[in-house]
Amino acid sequence: MNTESLFDSLTIAVIALDAGGRIQAVNMAAENLLGHSRKRLLNSPLARWLPTHHPLLEMQARCIEQQRICHAQRLPWPLPFTAVQRIDASLSPLPNGCLLELKPLEESQRLQEESERFRQQQDLHHLLRSLAHEIKNPLAGVRGAAQLLARELADDGQREFTDLIQREADRLRELVDRLLLPGHSQKQREINVHSVLEQVLQTQAMTRARGIDIVRDYDPSLPDIPANPDALHQVFFNLIQNAMEAMGEQGTLILRSRVEHGATIGGKRHKRVLRLDIIDTGPGIEPELIDRVFLPLVSGKANGTGLGLSIAQTLVLQHDGLLECQSEPGHTRFSVWLPWTTEHK
């Protein structure tokens, strides 16, 4: 068997790219996945065959530039001529480019994983509701004690601290109330997600105090979507705060919004979904934590509570959405998927 025949016998799609991202070799599985012949693909840029800003293009550039292996799981594959919807990808550096391996997720496997993830989210939601009940009563006591203390204080300066305690207790109570509400009971209205993201950035003093660059990669054509603005504010706050803490004193925070077509979330087929990526250049999440990152009380930080990502996951779930994470050293991405049109399979 010659090298070309061996190459074509592989069931996994393999693509060799040069330093400029142009296709130098493909096997038959890659032809099928990309939907074009080898003759047409050779010497063309990979970017020509993928949607603009597809995560794979960013991975390709990073692999070639940094000369290191990059992995990603369950990347969207929204090409119209294939039934494949998700792929696992691996890129390995070569002396003058990189080798790309793509493994499609079978539909049955993808739906099984989606169903299992949705079940875990539901279990998580029930657990957080139980925690919220336990928190609510002590919060009322804290607020009441602050009110009584304020009456005893003659100094207005000291009263500022009791006012702060009351305001924070009220904020936490509102958060607890949101966690206790069923998803569709939340008050929703048409909102612009970019405006919510900008409000979060304004409230985070850490973005001004640290040497962190913020890159806004927004799709200006995105429509407003029905959502609870306070809940989404909390989701984005938790994710951005997590990214900032991971990067420390310097790094780059990328906020990206896109439209994805034909996605299945929680067993429901959606014509269009909104995808919001929050990307940081921190050290990444430890491999042993990545599968448990949304579980309550699981944290990779010394003083972390392990609740921020759990709460974000629950609030996204209440919007019939999905929160995903991909992480490797130097690149962590949290993706919020929010549908605004639905058709049931």
Note whether 223 and 264 are same-domain residues.
yes
Mean of the per-residue pLDDT values for the chain?
80
Cβ-based neighbour number of residue 248 at 10 Å: 12
Which domain does 98 fall in, by range? 3-105
pLDDT at 333 over 60: yes
Encoded tokens for 87: 């792929």
3-state secondary structure of 17: strand
The number of domains in the chain is: 3
Note whether 223 and 318 are same-domain residues.
yes
User: Distance of CA 23 to CAs 15, 40, 144, 274, 334, Å?
Assistant: 7, 10, 67, 30, 29
Note whether 209 and 335 are same-domain residues.
yes
- Evaluate if pTM is beyond 0.75: no
Q: Lowest-pLDDT range, 18-27, 70-79, 109-118, 163-172?
A: 109-118
Note whether 195 and 304 are same-domain residues.
yes
- List, in sequence order, every beta strand (DSSP E) within 125-249: 189-191, 211-217, 225-227
Residue labelled with tokens 């890129």? 91
Note whether 150 and 173 are same-domain residues.
yes
Distance of CA 111 to the CA centre of its chain: 19
Note whether 319 and 243 are same-domain residues.
yes
Supply the CATH number for residue 214's domain. Answer: 3.30.565.10
Confidence bin at 341 (pLDDT 50/70/90): low
Supply the CATH number for residue 51's domain. Answer: 3.30.450.20
Encoded tokens for 251: 């790094």
Note whether 166 and 312 are same-domain residues.
no
Q: Name the nearest CA neighbour of 121 among 315, 251, 257.
A: 315
Note whether 208 and 303 are same-domain residues.
yes
Q: 88, 105, 122: which is the final residue of a domain? A: 105
